A = this chain, B = another copy of it.
Amino acid sequence: MIATLSDRCTLTEKAAILRFIEGHGLRVHVGEAGATTIVSIIGDPEPGIGETIAGLPGVATVSLDAPSYPFVAREARTAPSTVKVRDVLIGGRGVVVMAGPCSVESEEQLLVIARAVAKEGATLLRGGAFKPRTSPYSFQGLGVRGLELLSTAREETGLGVVSEVVAPEDIPLMNGHVDMLQVGSRNMQNFRLLSAVGEQPTPVLLKRGLMSTIEEMLLAAEYIVGAGNPRVVLCERGIRSFETATRGTLDISAVPVLKERSHLPVIVDPSHAAGKRSLVPSLAAAGVAAGADGLLIEVHDRPDEALSDGPQSLTLEGFAATMETVARVASALDRPLTTL
């Protein structure tokens, strides 16, 4: 059962409402985002108590069969929401392209790539400084040095910066350098991290877990928005299936499904799904055709020497060609590519 409080509910009324609910042996969880206050009621309520709660001063509505994710559900807003990252609007009419290397490796590497993707029309630079790696013996990222290099690239190119956060304690470190915090696939259900990014204002890019359902992804987003940060963008990046011809199986249907169920912007990462450079242009075009608000594309100037994800990174030339195709598809659907 979930109760939504009225906008004019006073603090006294609110306290009385909570006291009433707890007095009937139930637990409460209070979530607030902007003016909306959601009281989730946990436990086994006695019959009829929902109607009683609905009649308390300050209660707007009580839903017995509540949506699982009241803050992010499509019904929670009259229009789709947009998220502004630096000066770039995600979720509007334009299609936003984020691009960059999987890992920040050196100043030269980053700047070469950043300049190239900016020139071809990307508006955000994505690069990893803290890398969650399956093996402890794989390259784990440059850490703070990587963040500094991202800042440098931002200054030079004007691109906003997106980078992955792997632990709550790193957020303060990142906040000067990064315009959008990425929560990676392996952390999609790291609930402490979700709460932490929800308790600060930087926009969040939430990547779908490799074997997470769309429902679970929306509940993960609910953790963030419910904790106070409505600036969440969802990213489909391929799920795990039995097929081994590709690294992941891009669940292209997730784009229209997420759009139906939630008001949050949705982007597609064709690179991780494919795991193979040659497939990326087709999947990028498909993502835009399916209705995505943006793309996240891995690019490397010398992919064969990349410290991570080389095989799926586009070359600079490949990125230029992909952007041209993507622009044509976007334009056919009346959605121009967003530019700086």
Contacts and interface: CB of A to CB of B under 8 A. Distances in A.
Contact of A279 (B166, B210, B253): B253
A243 interface: yes
Contacts of A239: 241-243, 249
Interface in A131-160: 132-140
A211 B185 CA distance: 11
Nearest to A220: B134
Nearest to A278: B260
Nearest to A184: B189
Given A213-B243, A283-B256, A329-B329, A166 B191 contact: yes
Given A139-B42, A282-B289, A332-B331, A249 B249 contact: yes
Interface in A256-283: 256-257, 260, 273-274, 278-279, 282-283
Contact of A253 (B210, B215, B255, B274): B274
Contact count band on A: 35 or more
A136 B282 CA distance: 31
B256 A249 contact: no
A251 B243 contact: yes
Interface string A196-239: 00000000000001111111100100110011000000000001
A191 B132 contact: yes
A266 to B, nearest CB: 11
Contacts of A136: 29, 31, 40, 191, 219, 222-223, 226-227
B246 A244 contact: no
Interface in A287-312: 287-291, 305, 307
10 contacts: A132-B191, A136-B226, A166-B192, A167-B168, A186-B189, A213-B244, A239-B241, A245-B253, A249-B253, A250-B252
Interface of A: 2, 27, 29, 31, 40, 42-44, 68-69, 132-140, 166-168, 186-187, 189-192, 209-216, 219, 222-223, 226-227, 239-246, 249-257, 260, 273-274, 278-279, 282-283, 285-291, 305, 307, 325, 328-329, 331-333
Given A252-B286, A256-B282, 18 more contacts: A40-B136, A68-B135, A69-B135, A136-B191, A136-B223, A166-B191, A213-B242, A239-B242, A241-B249, A244-B244, A252-B283, A253-B273, A255-B286, A282-B289, A289-B290, A289-B329, A328-B332, A329-B329
